[in-house]
Structure 1
Amino acid sequence: MKPENDTQISVFLLLGILENPELQPFLFGLFLSMYLVTMFGNLLIILAIISDPHLHTPMYFFLSNLSFVDICFTSTTIPKMLVNIQTQSKVIAYTGCITQMYFFIHFVGLDSFLLTVMAYDRFMAICYPLHYMVIMNPRLCGLLVLVSWIMSVLHSLLHSLMVLRLSFCTHLEIPHFFCELNEVVHLACSDTFLNDLVMYIAAAVLGGGSLTAILYSYSRIVSSICRISSAQGKYKAFSTCASHLSVVSLFYCTSLGVYLSSASTHNSYSSATASVMYTVVTPMLNPFIYSLRNKDIKRTLKYFGGQKLGKSQLSCG
């Protein structure tokens, strides 16, 4: 006898990372702290770039967009997780799950596209320094960001609409802390072949295409740096790419590691735990990577700190 499909489901259950109820308060404190650090760090980067005219360049324009996306990226998953832990509830509404999934796919795709655009920016700065400011004009920078947003919106909309066509049965438990696309699709009673096919093609074309473009850009960058005669010139050229290269490595290594490990172990709980690396840890570390390895950002942040300290001393006096 075939299981009865229920296309009018109203809720899913998010099982989270750990089943042990005694560890939930620790989990709540840990993720709340990481979320607040992510928000504060990325907001600080955005404010520093907006307020300092010396940072009104293409590289920092893209960085401010990346920081904004990282704030939105973590905000799609962590607040709901914290609410569920606090209320001791695992429920997420069907519409809420689809909405969360849409925005998660949107912002993770946008993260990938912006990292690709930033690699192109570094490629132009190092390989064509004399024409850099002419080529990377405000109009082109704005267009690159706009295209990234449009591609990401269409990508996430495609997956969301594909999920809406599925029917679900009685088993509605998602062994994750958010509505992850692959987990939701595999809860469906109806045939998911088309969904799986679209997921694989999109990952290969968009994810693989972005990574290929980044690797190509850096192969040209390394080739140009090797042709620089002085060691100081090589160091200066490489230092402009070090922060971005660190963020790219962190983002792609963690995300690829999650999906490769989940494919080999077939353990949903271990996949959920590992996915914390690129959904929470990476956006939290990005501001530290850019602020610690970038002299311009550090100078602006020190200026902010000195200015606030001076104002507090004046008010106390």
Structure 2
Amino acid sequence: MAERFPGTIIVSAVNDPLVEAAHLYKRFDKLQAVDDVSLSIDPGETYGLLGPNGAGKTTAISMIAGLLEPDSGTVTVAGTQIKPRSTQGREAIGLVPQDLAIYPDLSAEENLMFFASLYGMSKRDARARADEVLEVIGLADRRKERTSKYSGGMKRRLNIGIGLLHSPRLLILDEPTVGVDPQSRNAILESVEALSGGGMAVLYTTHYMEEAERLCDRIGIIDSGRVVAEGTTEQLISRVGENDRVRIEVTGSVDAAIGHIRDISGVVEASTEDHAIVVMADDGSRHLPAVINHLVDGGAQVGSIEVTRPDLEAVFLHLTGKALRE
């Protein structure tokens, strides 16, 4: 048994996935929104769906949550197949949608008590659970305040709290940091880290690369309805190589220098690109002085310098041909 956070215990078989989605398809008229998506999530794992707006993230999680019926494919959560026309297995899922689902005239505590009543919880259990959730989302000291006075980030955290009330084994978070300030965003990410670290499975959709890198044990990159790659951050980055990209603006001829630059140990490639030289190297910053010396010795004048290390943005660009936030 593993303690998720105060008041909840989960039991799971070792190496037994909590979530299994297999070959999900969904079409809206002429748009193939989800195209053969499969994924699995283990207890205590945070799985990220990373992709731009319109990639199919929300449609995919709506099918996993049982809100939307797939054209074909199956979803199993905690051993139960999830179907939109059945409530069976729904108690294992907590869904936090992009749109806020709170009542502004009620306090955080009153919101939680109201939603707990919808789950059929007794007042005693609801009170105890609300206390636990308020601690998890960092709103215990503002529990009596009307939520109309909350910042956007505080409302987002309360939205997460509502999804946690019934102690789900899977928490689905759909773009939970959209439109919040940096401080509130960090508080939300800290809450998510605490939940997954305590044993809850988390399915997290985002188009923010840095969130996926920080939170997710594994990441599925989704584009045009398809998961085009999946793995840990390190595994995904290895698909585009471990080399840094160094771009140096230059004026004058680089012909005399480029051959010498290619001969530098650790430099994989050197080429010209729109009044610049681009060098691929295993450690761009370390090789930069030697590259500049060859350019200057060859008569070129060096301008701006940019060193780009491989990251998920580079992976997405490599796999899809477009930037993550396009």
State the TM-score, normalizing by the size of structure 2: 0.22
Structure with the bigger percentage of helix: 1
In proportion to residue count, which structure has more strand? 2
TM-score (norm 1): 0.22
